[in-house]
Structure 1
Amino acid sequence: MNLTIDNLFDLNETIAKDIFKGCTYPWEVLAKIGDFIIELGKTLPADEYELRGENVWVHKTANVFPSAYIAGPAIIGKDAEVRHCAFIRGKAIVGEGAVVGNSTELKNVILFNKVQVPHYNYVGDSILGFKAHMGAGSITSNVKSDKKLIVIKNGDEKIETGIKKIGAFLGDNVEVGCGSVLNPGTIVGRESNIYPLSSVRGVVEAKSIYKKAGEVVAKN
């Protein structure tokens, strides 16, 4: 599969479109998220966004529950919802109409518009495309157990990233089933579905159904 940014994401569906300039692959963006948010936040219109704490910009239409914790730098977009006991550890962009749910934890992420991570999810060092959805309890694992640098495996191709922490990259309209683990460096192409309770590694082709390792079928 083509792993380029343009092949995974509709960049018109994120306030962070400019962060992708000059980058070919999505993992190249991860190290830039924190600084990008700070610079972008300074340009956000004051009649639309409230500054809540240091480098935390929240759109006035967003619904942030009182029990949620948000550390900067962070941007919470228009009509987004950050629910009870959500834990946003910083370096996070939550897109328009996105949902960050009960006890969900975010760190160093970009959630495109309409993303849903609504129930007990961990999303770290990851980018989730437009309308991507992670079922209850599904998580991104972002560090290998041997702590080695992450290699992206795309069929017979192996791409050295030089990065220790990479979660997952979900293309637009990806559906991840409940209780699934996306192992470090997982990439799921647009409009694909992951079965519940899956352990996913490597690359899942666009418009496919991941049933288990070695059993991935194309959508009709």
Structure 2
Amino acid sequence: MLTAATFFDLSSFGHPQLFVDGAYVWTALNGLKRYMNDFPYTLPEDPLLPQGVPLAATVVLHGGRVLAADGLQIHYGDTTKGGLIVRDSGEILAGATVIMAGAVLLGREIEFGGGVLVESGAMIKAPAIIGEMSEVRQGAYLRGYCLAGRRCILGHATEVKHSIFLDDAKAGHFAYLGDSILGAGANLGAGTKFANLRFLTGNVTLRINGERIDTGRRKLGAILGDNTQTGCNSVTNPGTILGRNCVLMPNTTAPSGYHSEGTLISPKSYRRSG
């Protein structure tokens, strides 16, 4: 119970080694820094990718090269469905990633999968790993140690630090995630905030079946199982653990602790959906 298998299907996730068999699910956050510090990043050093300043012009990453977008034809379709298409003289550059003018990269330890779009005004601090066909939207702030799988959305005015997105996880608008994990297909409504630090000193603890479990973490936000959703302007207390297929209703604060698969948390009460 409360291992990764309770919450996630990791069979297609590109970084399953983050999750140790039989360990509590939140321990993946304990090893995230080490994993990302040791990752073999491939971002080229190139004058077209200056450090710490907004890009002067849109660039394309393809085949280990950095290409100026001038002269290329870019179709900005639905990124998460493979709709970002770059052509050079009519020939499709398969898997090309586009970093738009005005985006800021801070550090070389940043890895982009194929078909990623980084919009103007996004800021990405190293280290960061962004999986293929993911989208980093305008105004997103990735504060370091952010790992996203395939087809993820790190959205407009969303701040993320030390967190993991499994494939197809989406935090599209005005969200905050710190020390948190989103399962595959999880979706955050606009304005969702994951509190990750208690007012009181000490580690985040969870009360489960009358037993108090010390997570060993001073900071722990939320963990959402596969296909769990939150409504607009919802908030989770530090150490909120939601199983698969849960729903946190809009304008609702989720209590800390474990909420089992299929739980519906509403403003007045929470109950397991039938």
TM-score (normalizing by structure 1)? 0.91
Tell me which moved more, 19-28 or 61-70: 19-28
Deviations 1:97-118 (A, max 9, x none): 1011111000001100111100
Q: How does 1:1-220 map to 2 (within 5 A)?
A: 2-22=1-21, 24-42=23-41, 47=64, 53-201=107-255, 202-212=257-267, 214-219=269-274
Taking the aligned partners of 2:27 and 2:141, their CA distance within structure 1 comes to 25
Structure with the higher helix share, 1 or 2: 1
Q: Is the 8 A contact 2:3 2:21 kept in 1?
A: no
Q: Is the 8 A contact 2:42 2:111 kept in 1?
A: no
Taking the aligned partners of 2:219 and 2:112, their CA distance within structure 1 comes to 27
Deviations 1:59-82 (A, max 9, x none): 231000131111111101100000
SS at 1:96's partner residue? coil
Unaligned runs of 5+ in 2: 44-62, 65-94, 98-104
- Report which of the two structures shows the higher radius of gyration computed on alpha carbons: 2
Distance 1:20 1:217, change over 3 A: closer
Q: How far did 1:12 drift?
A: 2.1
Q: Is the 8 A contact 2:109 2:126 kept in 1?
A: yes
Aligned length: 217
Taking the aligned partners of 2:130 and 2:114, their CA distance within structure 1 comes to 9
SS at 1:84's partner residue? coil
SS at 1:26's partner residue? coil
Taking the aligned partners of 2:42 and 2:16, their CA distance within structure 1 comes to 14
Taking the aligned partners of 2:121 and 2:246, their CA distance within structure 1 comes to 33
Q: How far did 1:41 drift?
A: 3.4
TM-score (normalizing by structure 2)? 0.74
Tell me which moved more, 149-158 or 192-201: 149-158
Moved over 2 A (4+): 38-44, 46-50, 212-215
User: Over the residues paired in the alignment, what is the CA RMSD in angstroms?
Assistant: 2.2
Q: Is the 8 A contact 2:128 2:144 kept in 1?
A: yes
Q: How far did 1:121 drift?
A: 0.3
Q: How far did 1:208 drift?
A: 2.3
Tell me which moved more, 4-13 or 114-123: 4-13
- Quick one: which amino acid aligns to residue 203 of structure 1? Y
- Quick one: which amino acid aligns to residue 38 of structure 1? N
Q: How far did 1:14 drift?
A: 2.3
Identity of aligned residues (%): 32
SS at 1:41's partner residue? coil
Distance 1:186 1:37, change over 3 A: same
